[in-house]
A and B are shown apart, each in its own frame.
Chain A
């Protein structure tokens, strides 16, 4: 089996993560921060350790401003519903996932800044979209469809200039491409723990910069201020109602330490080079269309179509006849497909991960070659 659905989740996990998950399930399946006994405090310490390693990784000044969620979608909803109201306006891009588009569409008025056919966003277009009542600018860091990177540093500087908070969806880049919340002026960072960060499924989080208040999506037991009918204002308790997945969060900490040991620049380069090579090789096959940027500002995700075959059918043939796991269709991001011109039948998406190899790339290219020949 060849697994190239890494943009959805990194299926293969490092052994240190599996070890941490097993060990902590055995020894630390506790309700962290509920009570003062040793078990509860051991869990709280494990969660705090993961906050600290993430804070160092993303250059977040105060680890306590990181709240854990089960995925990036939950974190994005928490931020969008917690900040925007009916009278507000938001700026998003045409490369967003539905986890941004849908909550924004439900919440307030918004402007979609159009990317070009390769998914490239011009920062000046973001600036032009800002209105007097714009309360939040939200962009993905990289397209989950074709891998094009959004210039978040430049957009962050525009947000600084106008004093507007900037929410970045890093589902496709956390653990793959360097993120510095301070330099990039990121006010809110939504991340998934189970993709590039190589943590367990059901992990993710939201960083909220000091001074930004989020109206919590969920309220309830936090283990603190029990007599108070209102949700505590202290972070992370304010966003941590209910029992946390302590063993998984602790295993996420092990995963981030593992990524740091390897070096994020190496991961970035490896995945990008594989994607560039795949892009080039697929482009040379007659009857194949490849989307997004050929090289440069991209991550390890490549979108393509074989002419006259529905993308879902191509994905099905690759799975059934070649044992290659890729994803067809619209990838929960129809507006991105409209932008890059694949909205008729979606596209086939192949995404490299930390453990992907050149052999897997070649197997995919050979398979696409054969399928393409069979259709002509």
Chain B
């Protein structure tokens, strides 16, 4: 199973992006705390969304600043993150 993980700068950005995806992107998105291994300087927020929403995300930012985009790959109990920014 794979999902997109979009790391943003603030919870406000995350909330806006999730709302935009739900409203216009026809896909469910969830705001989560960024996994520690991707967090960099500490706590941050990300949006977890379906893989198919990548194009929508890249084309409909409307001022939302994105730090990184990963594909999250879950193999057994392990989670791997592939940077596609």
Chain B interface size, under 10 / 10 to 19 / 20 to 34 / 35 or more: 20 to 34
| A237 cross-chain contacts in B, Cβ below 8 A | 9-12
A250 to chain B, nearest CB (A): 13
Whether a CB of chain B sits under 8 angstroms from the CB of A36 is yes
| B19 and A48 within 8 A (CB) | yes
Instruction: Given A41-B31, A45-B19, answer yes or no on A228-B12 (Cβ-Cβ < 8 Å).
Output: no
Instruction: Given A35-B33, A36-B33, A64-B63, answer yes or no on A44-B42 (Cβ-Cβ < 8 Å).
Output: no
**Complex CA–CA separation, A232 to B78 (angstroms):** 31
**Complex CA–CA separation, A64 to B65 (angstroms):** 10
- CB closest residue in chain A, given B39: A227
Return the CB mask of A33-58 against B: 1 if under 8 Å, else 0. 10110000100110110011000000
| B10 and A234 within 8 A (CB) | yes
| A62 cross-chain contacts in B, Cβ below 8 A | 62-63
A-B contact count (CB 8 A): 76
B31 to chain A, nearest CB (A): 5
Chain A interface size, under 10 / 10 to 19 / 20 to 34 / 35 or more: 20 to 34
**Complex CA–CA separation, A224 to B45 (angstroms):** 8
**Complex CA–CA separation, A226 to B34 (angstroms):** 12
| A33 and B32 within 8 A (CB) | no
**Complex CA–CA separation, A63 to B63 (angstroms):** 9
Whether a CB of chain B sits under 8 angstroms from the CB of A368 is no
Whether a CB of chain B sits under 8 angstroms from the CB of A263 is no
Whether a CB of chain B sits under 8 angstroms from the CB of A103 is no
**Complex CA–CA separation, A365 to B67 (angstroms):** 61
**Complex CA–CA separation, A35 to B33 (angstroms):** 7
Which applies to chain A's interface (DSSP): helix, strand, loop or mixed? loop
| A228 and B11 within 8 A (CB) | no
CB < 8 Å: which of B42, B62, B65 contacts A225?
B42
CB < 8 Å: which of B13, B41, B43, B45 contacts A64?
B13
Whether a CB of chain B sits under 8 angstroms from the CB of A32 is yes
Whether a CB of chain B sits under 8 angstroms from the CB of A223 is yes
CB < 8 Å: which of A61, A224, A235 contacts B43?
A224
A311 to chain B, nearest CB (A): 45
| A64 and B12 within 8 A (CB) | yes
**Complex CA–CA separation, A63 to B64 (angstroms):** 9
- CB closest residue in chain B, given A37: B33
**Complex CA–CA separation, A51 to B19 (angstroms):** 13
| B19 cross-chain contacts in A, Cβ below 8 A | 45, 48
Return the CB mask of A191-227 against B: 1 if under 8 Å, else 0. 0000000000000000000100000000000011111
CB < 8 Å: which of B12, B32, B43, B63 contacts A44?
B12
Instruction: Report B's interface with A, CB cutoff 8 A.
Output: 9-16, 19, 31-33, 40-45, 62-65
Instruction: Report A's interface with B, CB cutoff 8 A.
Output: 32-33, 35-36, 41, 44-45, 47-48, 51-52, 61-64, 210, 223-228, 232, 234-237
Q: Could you list 27 examples of A-B contacts with CB < 8 Å?
A: A33-B11, A33-B12, A41-B15, A44-B12, A44-B14, A44-B15, A45-B15, A48-B12, A48-B15, A48-B16, A51-B12, A52-B16, A64-B10, A64-B63, A64-B65, A223-B11, A223-B43, A224-B11, A224-B43, A226-B42, A227-B41, A228-B41, A228-B42, A232-B9, A232-B10, A236-B12, A237-B11
